[in-house]
Chains A and B, each alone.
Chain A
Amino acid sequence: MLVELKNGETYNGHLVSCDNWMNINLREVICTSRDGDKFWRMPECYIRGSTIKYLRIPDEIIDMVKEDLVVKAKGRRDAKTARGGQRGRGAQRGSFGGRGGKGPGGPGGRGGGGVGRPFNKPRGKIEIFINEPVDKV
């Protein structure tokens, strides 16, 4: 995913984790200066939420959320039959697991999910990356 800060710098990398304050951990980051003329590559970085302007995430995320919902629903159904009608919260966990390397571009299997999931719980194997650098306007 791509994070643009209020000062115009952009950070393009794989989301590792985030929290309720929008603080974000990224891995394999490419930092681009405000004017888009300087680049830095760094293995990981941490971004304070309050400095963020916006996040851009790849379209494929939507499909992943759909998949996740299906898996969740299935998990819930299973839990229901297994426990005689009780809703199992545990069944919702880890539904993203075991699907590494399906994401677009780049080596697979790292990064955590961000959308529609509880914050603060890095897990799973989604690939979140916008391949092309953002056009500088």
Chain B
Amino acid sequence: MSTGKENKDENSKSFTPSRIFKSRRDSHDDLPIEGWPMGTATLLTEIDKKMMVVLRDNRTLIGYLRSIDQFGNLALHQTIERIYVGSKYGDIPRGIFIVRGENAVLLGELDQTRDVGLIEQVSVEEILNAQRREQEAKQEKNKVLAKALRERGLSFVNDLVQEDQF
């Protein structure tokens, strides 16, 4: 008897933020959030998790997602910038980020158990050097390509190849 009444009360309250957060913490992560239609896309379930964000400029940020809004703006706490070069990566501590939503390409929870051992962490200095070398190699390649294209009467826009593939 009493359970029926409680359920009714819960349903009537289920759209308030506090209800959303409570049900998120109480329930299993895979289940839909109580009170929302099935398949509703929301980032609220990801709050306070360690998330990886890839920006349009190809930078990767990893931090605790502390807040979001209706535009997909993201507040990240204890953020690091992770730079990947080949099978190596380096982390640079960056602090608190507020990412304007339109610049985020990807947001995903970081599964810290998955890639252990597959890639190797190196020092910031080392990864920055590796990144610079990679950039220089790419530029060299582009120069050759540009020259070849020019000889064939075609133009080559360096900027388009360099970045912003999204």
Interface residues of A (CB under 8 A from B): 6, 8, 22, 49, 52-59, 61-62, 115, 130, 135, 137
Q: A137–B96 contact, CB under 8 A?
A: no
A-B residue pairs in contact (CB < 8 Å), sample of 7: A22-B100, A53-B55, A53-B56, A54-B98, A56-B95, A135-B128, A137-B59
Q: B100–A53 contact, CB under 8 A?
A: yes
Q: A58–B100 contact, CB under 8 A?
A: no
Q: A56-B96, A58-B96, A137-B131 are in contact. List 4 more A-B contacts (CB 8 A).
A: A22-B100, A53-B99, A55-B97, A56-B95
B contact residues, range: 20 to 34
B-chain residues with CB within 8 Å of residue A137 when the two chains form the complex? 59, 81, 83, 92, 128, 131
Q: A57–B131 contact, CB under 8 A?
A: no
Q: A57–B92 contact, CB under 8 A?
A: no
B57, CB-defined interface residue at 8 Å: yes
Who on chain B is nearest to A61 by CB?
Answer: B96
Who on chain A is nearest to B128 by CB?
Answer: A137
Who on chain A is nearest to B71 by CB?
Answer: A22
B138, CB-defined interface residue at 8 Å: no
Q: B94–A56 contact, CB under 8 A?
A: yes
Q: A54–B96 contact, CB under 8 A?
A: no
Q: B92–A135 contact, CB under 8 A?
A: yes
A-chain residues with CB within 8 Å of residue B99 when the two chains form the complex? 53-54
Q: 8 closest A-B pairs (Cβ-Cβ)?
A: A55-B98, A54-B99, A53-B103, A57-B96, A52-B100, A59-B95, A54-B97, A56-B97
Question: Nearest-CB distance from B104 to chain A (Å)?
Answer: 9
Contact of A53 among B57, B96, B131 (CB under 8 A): B57
B-chain residues with CB within 8 Å of residue A56 when the two chains form the complex? 94-98
B-chain residues with CB within 8 Å of residue A62 when the two chains form the complex? 77, 96
Q: A57–B128 contact, CB under 8 A?
A: no
A17 CA to B83 CA, complexed, in Å: 33
B-chain residues with CB within 8 Å of residue A53 when the two chains form the complex? 55-57, 99-100, 103
Who on chain A is nearest to B90 by CB?
Answer: A137
Q: B103–A54 contact, CB under 8 A?
A: yes
